[in-house]
Structure 1
Amino acid sequence: MSGAVTEFRMPSLGADMEAGTMVEWLVKPGDKVDRGDIVAIVETQKGAIEIEVFEAGRIEEILVDSGGKVPVGAPLARIRTEAEPTAQPRTQPPMAGAAPPPTSATSTASTPSAAIQPSPTLASPIAGAPRRTGRILASPAARQLARLQGVDLSTIAGSGPSGAIVRSDVERMRAATETKRAIGFDFDAMRVAIAAAMTRSKREIPHYYLQHQFDVTACQQWLSRRNATLAPPDRLLFAALAIKSVALAVHRYPQFNGFYRDGKFEPSSAAHIGVAIAIRGGGLAAPALHNVDRLSLDELMARLRDLVQRMRSGRIRGSEIADPTITVSSLGERGVEAMFGIVYPPQVALVGCGKVVERPWLVGNRVEARSVVTATLSGDHRVSDGHAGALFLAEIDRLLQEPEKL
């Protein structure tokens, strides 16, 4: 069969992921696959994730058996596409938010630099994983920091060009190691992963925080009228309005929507809203609702219910974990009136929503009881500032005043 060969690699499913364990292959060599097909299930610290492919073709070879632990960026399988044949296998484009994968031995064997390229089966920095062998590709700053902090470079999977270890990789490894030492290796793996990611966020991101109260009486009244005619499974929640308003607001204020990587901000044209969801048994994940700005409120509510159900039953997709461009989090259902979240790298902003409560509110010359929600913004000061953040929150407020137009 003619065509190019693409290496299907272990995707990065979040800033806290270093490796995944192959649970089950849903395809076998010779099977035809289309873009977006789920081909495998991978276990991460946040549970079992369904992994999709991104090119059509046929599975030529499976490289990892079920039960195998694989670092981010390492090849899982080879797919022969219908593209024109090339001299070497092509590397599959990384998912949004993913670190550049290490170059495989197959694709670099004919280049002069092949001797220093990291192996595709290199270990992740987790307990029990094998170490790198041969020469390790690392930046001078990473080597210096590793020497000062006593970090073994052979235990780190690099996120730099060609899989090189950069300074942030060493810092992340050290934070994860310190977390494990502090709480013990018997602690739940998800909590360890969350602790490492949040430690990295607070260390690397200069956060600023804003709070704003919205009068959402118009939203509540509109929801009450609309939901009165619908069966319970079809009713809208205020959360859908909040998520849609954020998705629309980021188009006017794009500095809150995208990724900060390699010392620069990469704005996203898509509004993929990460929704913080509590996982049964403890822990938290924020998978994405894709292209929220293009969805009707009914479509958004249906997808939100589906996302929550699949997240809690362990049927989430890799792309939903990997590519949120901004996150919305709420503890309103728990009675919390305000929350200040931590930005999840490489994102640059998080919007928090509290419980809708009744408050005395000045309307014209009268004080009335109004439905009020406290919204917060956690922003990355490298990309935006408090002035822009205030305008962003004001835009969300403006959109919520006309819920019928969302």
Structure 2
Amino acid sequence: MEKIIMPEVAHTASEVKILRWHKKEGEPVEEGEVLLEVETDKATLEIESYAKGILRKLYYQEEELVSLGETIALIGEGEEPLPPELLSSARQEPQKPGPPLTRKMEEISGAFPQEELIRTELFSAPCKERPPEEKAPRKEVTPETTGPLASPRTRKLAQEMGLDLALIQGTGPGGLITEEDLKRALEDRERVIKEKASLAAEPGPEKEIKKAAPSPRPGRIMALSPMRKTIAQRMTQSFRDVPHLVLKTRAEASGLIKLREALNATLAEEHKITFSDILLKAIGLALFSFPQVNSLLEEDHIRELPQINVGLAIATGEGLVAPVVPQVDKKSLKEISQHSRALIQRARQGRLLSSDLKEAALTLSNLGMFGIEEFTAIINPPQAAILAVGRIAPEPIVQGEKIIPAPCLHLTLSADHRLIDGALAAQFLAEIKDILENPGRMLV
């Protein structure tokens, strides 16, 4: 009998909410199959099963809060009896995480743009049991503390429908706004519109119709969503506590433009390489040359990461997230393109996998597609740095004794000065510039 433990999917929270079980008790489960969806303070995630068999027991139901590290289900053989001790003490005390549980990233394909960062590692480990009476009560989430209570998926649907969640009464547990509530609100709005149209069409005395002056839109007070609250806290913490060392440089981009055009000429539309994919590859190669930058500051020591993973900042309807593209130094540009495309799609659909949230020391934030020339990004602790990239635009450069126009790309590196000195940061940024100006290095 295998215990399914709620993994550490959120390093900024101690508990998550179960949104939906993909399996019911008695149904077969394959290893690596999505078992449930949970909502953290940053995103909606799909949790995969690390065991194969029959789902024998669920300890938590949908919309319930569960602490990280607790047993949430049992998977075993169909006829295997449930141990009495597991029946009598279903919910258990959270423990320290065990070995990481991840899906092989080579099995996931995807590419596209970006913006900031979240990062955590997925763990699983058996838990010690303690008597139920010693267990602290789970916290209840209320509209008073979080604003309109709704899952990221419901919020996205409401945005697409043009509905204001603050005006909708939730009928779910604890006032949760469900998809059915959205449908009813949409039907009510359409009914009112039809009634007004019907009244306007009724015959009556002719009147002079005057165009009314547009009334000013009233201001609104909106409660912070859990994700926006977390972003606000972490950005404030970083700006206040992390000494940012900011370095800027400019890379001549004609070589990488030609490389991208040559590669895309042979690729289908869904596999075309973006400038962000090229930047991810360049960052990965630079981190390989400077492993000191691929590190995290942890209390009184610096921990160098075993893999080169780079966060990709992605704008979503709920806020900014930064899942990672793993092992970018070892991936080809085509593989990076496929992975990042799928990553962006999952992030914007609110369906990130727990394996998308690995540790990374650096994040890429690219605003070039919005016409931004350059900007300075804020580090997401405990990461070591973040690279901000602007648009490619023609600028005058000196070539021999001549001044000629050439496409250029502005790079701004924000580094944590507590673990990265100015000289190291300068060498690292110069290495990224050299790779971009000599893009053939990315093909070796």
TM-score, normalised via structure 1 length: 0.72
Greater RCO, CA 8 A, separation 6+: 2
Once the two structures are TM-superposed, the CA of residue 270 in structure 1 deviates from its matched residue by 1.0
Q: What residue is the counterpart of 1:384 in the other structure?
A: 420
Amino acid at match of 1:221: K
1:287 is aligned to 2:323: yes
Distance in structure 1 (CA, Å) of the matches to 2:388 and 2:269: 26
Distance in structure 2 (CA, Å) of the matches to 1:323 and 1:283: 20
Once the two structures are TM-superposed, the CA of residue 312 in structure 1 deviates from its matched residue by 1.1
Contact 2:245–2:422 under 8 Å retained in 1: yes
SS state at 2:292 partner: helix
Distance in structure 2 (CA, Å) of the matches to 1:31 and 1:255: 48
Moved more, 294-303 or 70-79: 70-79
Q: What residue is the counterpart of 2:128 in the other structure?
A: 107
Distance in structure 1 (CA, Å) of the matches to 2:124 and 2:299: 16
1:255 to 292, 297, 300: 292
Q: What residue is the counterpart of 1:402 in the other structure?
A: 438
1:69 is aligned to 2:105: no
Equivalences for residues 155-304 of structure 1 within 5 A: 186-279=223-316, 281-304=317-340
Contact 2:4–2:49 under 8 Å retained in 1: no
Amino acid at match of 1:48: T
Identify if the C-alpha distance between structure 1 residues 55 and 274 changes in structure 2 by more than 3 Å, giving closer, same or farther: farther
Equivalences for residues 314-329 of structure 1 within 5 A: 314-329=350-365
1:11 is aligned to 2:8: yes
Distance in structure 2 (CA, Å) of the matches to 1:66 and 1:329: 35
Distance in structure 2 (CA, Å) of the matches to 1:289 and 1:332: 20
Identify if the C-alpha distance between structure 1 residues 185 and 228 changes in structure 2 by more than 3 Å, giving closer, same or farther: closer
Deviations 1:151-197 (A, max 9, x none): xxxxxxxxxxxxxxxxxxxxxxxxxxxxxxxx977233322121012
Contact 2:296–2:383 under 8 Å retained in 1: yes
Identify if the C-alpha distance between structure 1 residues 320 and 337 changes in structure 2 by more than 3 Å, giving closer, same or farther: same
Q: What residue is the counterpart of 1:162 in the other structure?
A: none
Where does the alignment leave 5 or more consecutive residues of structure 1 unmatched?
A: 130-182
Contact 1:257–1:325 under 8 Å retained in 2: yes
Contact 2:280–2:364 under 8 Å retained in 1: yes
1:337 to 373, 381, 390: 373
Identify if the C-alpha distance between structure 1 residues 101 and 299 changes in structure 2 by more than 3 Å, giving closer, same or farther: closer
Contact 2:10–2:120 under 8 Å retained in 1: yes
Distance in structure 2 (CA, Å) of the matches to 1:127 and 1:260: 36
Amino acid at match of 2:35: V
Identify if the C-alpha distance between structure 1 residues 40 and 100 changes in structure 2 by more than 3 Å, giving closer, same or farther: closer
1:24 to 13, 20, 38: 20
Distance in structure 2 (CA, Å) of the matches to 1:375 and 1:403: 16
Contact 1:273–1:289 under 8 Å retained in 2: yes
Identify if the C-alpha distance between structure 1 residues 374 and 54 changes in structure 2 by more than 3 Å, giving closer, same or farther: farther
Identify if the C-alpha distance between structure 1 residues 103 and 314 changes in structure 2 by more than 3 Å, giving closer, same or farther: closer
Q: What residue is the counterpart of 1:43 in the other structure?
A: 39
The two structures, once aligned, show a CA RMSD in angstroms of: 3.6
Once the two structures are TM-superposed, the CA of residue 70 in structure 1 deviates from its matched residue by 2.6
1:352 to 385, 388, 391: 388
Distance in structure 2 (CA, Å) of the matches to 1:320 and 1:99: 9
Contact 2:18–2:66 under 8 Å retained in 1: yes
Where does the alignment leave 5 or more consecutive residues of structure 2 unmatched?
A: 78-82, 87-91, 102-118, 146-219
Identify if the C-alpha distance between structure 1 residues 381 and 53 changes in structure 2 by more than 3 Å, giving closer, same or farther: farther
Contact 2:6–2:71 under 8 Å retained in 1: yes
1:312 to 342, 345, 348: 348
SS state at 1:191 partner: helix
Once the two structures are TM-superposed, the CA of residue 199 in structure 1 deviates from its matched residue by 1.6
Once the two structures are TM-superposed, the CA of residue 256 in structure 1 deviates from its matched residue by 2.1
Distance in structure 1 (CA, Å) of the matches to 2:266 and 2:123: 51
Distance in structure 1 (CA, Å) of the matches to 2:318 and 2:139: 28
Distance in structure 2 (CA, Å) of the matches to 1:124 and 1:256: 41
Contact 1:259–1:267 under 8 Å retained in 2: yes
Contact 1:33–1:56 under 8 Å retained in 2: yes
Once the two structures are TM-superposed, the CA of residue 59 in structure 1 deviates from its matched residue by 4.5
SS state at 2:57 partner: strand
Contact 1:217–1:371 under 8 Å retained in 2: yes
TM-score, normalised via structure 2 length: 0.66
Amino acid at match of 2:15: A
Amino acid at match of 1:107: K
Identify if the C-alpha distance between structure 1 residues 376 and 322 changes in structure 2 by more than 3 Å, giving closer, same or farther: same
Deviations 1:196-239 (A, max 9, x none): 12122223322221111111211012222333444433322111
Q: Aligned residues, how many?
A: 338
Contact 1:95–1:323 under 8 Å retained in 2: no
Distance in structure 2 (CA, Å) of the matches to 1:325 and 1:59: 37
Q: What residue is the counterpart of 2:399 in the other structure?
A: 363
- Percent of aligned pairs with the same residue? 28
Distance in structure 2 (CA, Å) of the matches to 1:72 and 1:380: 29
Max Rg structure: 2
Once the two structures are TM-superposed, the CA of residue 276 in structure 1 deviates from its matched residue by 0.5
SS state at 1:214 partner: strand
Deviations 1:96-154 (A, max 9, x none): 965999999x61549xxx99xx847654999879xxxxxxxxxxxxxxxxxxxxxxxxx
Distance in structure 2 (CA, Å) of the matches to 1:125 and 1:67: 10
